[in-house]
Amino acid sequence: MAATKEQAKAQARVEAEAPGPTEIRSQLLRTELLKASAWLGLALVIGLCIVLIQPILLIFAGIVVAAILDGGARLLGRVLPVARGWRLLIVCLSLALFLAWTVMFAGSQIADQAATLQTVVMGQVQRIAAWASAHGMGNLEFDTKTITDNLAGTVGRVTAAVGTVLGALTSLVMIVVLGIFIAIEPRLYERGIAWMLPIKSRENFYITTARMGFTLRRLMAGRLVGMIVEGVGTWLACLMVGIPMAALMGLLTGLLAFIPNIGAIVSGVLLVLVGFSAGTDAGLWAIAIYFIVQTVDGYLIVPMVAKQTVDLAPALVLGAQILFGALLGIMGLFLADPIVAMIKVALEREAERNAGAAKRKAAASP
């Protein structure tokens, strides 16, 4: 009742007042100003996204972590009939215990092997350069700084948020915490975004976000399975044939398996270089291990996951990785695959809406 009286008083005051100097009488001028404001607002949004690209990537990485945690809670719900909060807590504690176990039991071994890896890889690179120079391919000289600078230039500008070890750890903590908060109550944030949209657009928003969530969960499940298979398989195979730094090779192979295409190439190069450092037989075994592990992942795990999610063409993913890596740095390289998957889901949903609208229009026309 009080609000109605306030509205009536305000309306009476407006009706009693005379037009001011800023009153626009021309309808054409109003229309053009609205158009200019829309274009200016769009330009400001694009500029703001460019300036804030680092926190935007961190937020999206948090959403990816939330999808992983949510997927684990949903999977656990099939065998454990408890509340979702308890299932999510079990998943988080399991991941924390696994990381603690890795650091406690394999941390010192991996740290020692990591200190040796750079020396081994540089020695192998220099041997290759010497062989190439001996066969008339030019005088090639490499050092650690040159290779690091070239890799940094290839990947693109590494964002300041992850440019240092301290920055990387801080960003990782922020991503994990953000992912946990989103996973605890995902509907809360979904409703909050939908509230800012027009009512007629909310149904489509809910459908699109549901499909994106399903796709992202399945995509990340496939990535995690691939990381485990490649990492553990490489570690055990390297132990069996006597390739040095087996634990580190397994860890790097598993981590790099998160990045399709490029990750497999980088891990394969490192594995072969380390293998040949122990002899020709070990190098040949390293090549065989690489092809066996990649074949299992590429022909068994990836197709099985692709049937349940968005089937992304390898060239499309690789092109996105090159583009995002050059523009956004290492974070863009890691997140290129899920970003492309989300874009494809949104485009497919929009195409579905357009096709439905066309069918309804055709049915309504005489």
- In tens, the pLDDT along 42-87 reads 888 888 877 778 888 888 999 999 998 998 888 888 888 888 888 8
Alpha-carbon gap, residue 288 to 296, rounded angstroms: 12
> What sign results for the dihedral spanned by CA atoms 179, 99, 274, 165?
positive
**Is the pLDDT score of 28 beyond 80?**
no
Alpha-carbon gap, residue 273 to 254, rounded angstroms: 17
pLDDT band at 354; cut points 50, 70, 90: confident
Report helix, strand or coil for 163: coil
**Is the pLDDT score of 201 beyond 80?**
yes
Residue 17's φ and ψ, nearest 5 degrees, are -85, 155
pLDDT of residue 257: 83
Of residues 213 and 312, the one with the higher pLDDT is 213
Average pLDDT of the residues of the chain: 78
* Residues with Cβ within 8 Å of residue 221, at least 6 apart in sequence: 68, 71, 75, 305
Of residues 274 and 158, the one with the higher pLDDT is 274
**Is the pLDDT score of 344 beyond 50?**
yes
pLDDT of residue 168: 67
Token readout for 210 is 């549901």
pLDDT of residue 263: 79
Alpha-carbon gap, residue 346 to 353, rounded angstroms: 11
pLDDT of residue 308: 57
Rounded percentage of the chain residues whose pLDDT exceeds 90? 2
Mean pLDDT of 279-284: 82
CB count in 10 Å sphere of residue 182:
21
- In tens, the pLDDT along 288-339 reads 888 888 887 766 666 666 555 666 777 788 888 888 887 777 788 888 888 8
pLDDT of residue 357: 78
- In tens, the pLDDT along 137-164 reads 656 555 555 555 555 444 444 444 444 5
Of residues 187 and 108, the one with the higher pLDDT is 187
